[in-house]
Amino acid sequence: MSLIKSLFGKKKKTFKATCDISNEPLEKGYGYLLTTAQVVSSQKFWDNIMTEPETMSYTVSHFKDHDEMATRMRQMIFEKYSTVDKPWIVSDSYIQLFDVDKTESRNNAKQWWENEGQYQPEQTGKAEDTLEESSYLAIKKYAVMEAGKERVAQSA
């Protein structure tokens, strides 16, 4: 009976993950686990996000044309990322965007993998709920009003 069960029984699906920034597949046990507060606190992250091909037109319009609609779109982009209430698994390719304790983030990722994505480090949740209000507002101001400015100036 066990031979038949092993051949025809349901097999447990292998837990897989992709980087929450790039969507590149991650090998089991790899990556870094960050909270939303850690992610959105990075100016490098915002400079990267606001100059991606999908968002660059809003960034150019925001800085060159002072377009209110483009600024509102940048605000919506900020809200999209800052309201994530689960931890972020980040690949080796993107960890340099963040000023975090890499050893701790790697250890958190290992626990996350061992628990098939169910592990949550302290301070997991929306940025507005986990950061001091002044820090949150400063990050929001940078993301919406300043991120990507240098790249737009260089392309002028």
Phi/psi at 83 (5° precision): -100, 5
User: Is the full-model pTM beyond 0.85?
Assistant: yes
* DSSP H helix total and E strand total for the chain: 9, 4
Confidence of residue 6 (pLDDT cuts 50, 70, 90): low
- Which of the pair, 153 or 79, is modelled with greater confidence? 79
The pLDDT tens digits of the residues spanning 56-107 come to: 999 999 999 999 999 999 999 999 999 999 999 999 999 999 999 999 999 9
Cβ partners under 8 Å of residue 140, min gap 6: 78, 82
CA 135 – CA 145 distance, rounded (Å): 15
Mean pLDDT of the chain: 93
User: What radius of gyration, in Å, describes the C-alpha atoms of the chain?
Assistant: 19
Q: What is the DSSP string of 39-50?
A: HHT-HHHHHHHT
Per-residue pLDDT at 41:
98
- Per the listing, tokens 């260089």 go with 154
Whether the pLDDT of residue 30 is over 60: the answer is yes
Distance CA 102, CA 35 (A): 13
The stretch 129-156 carries a mean pLDDT of 93
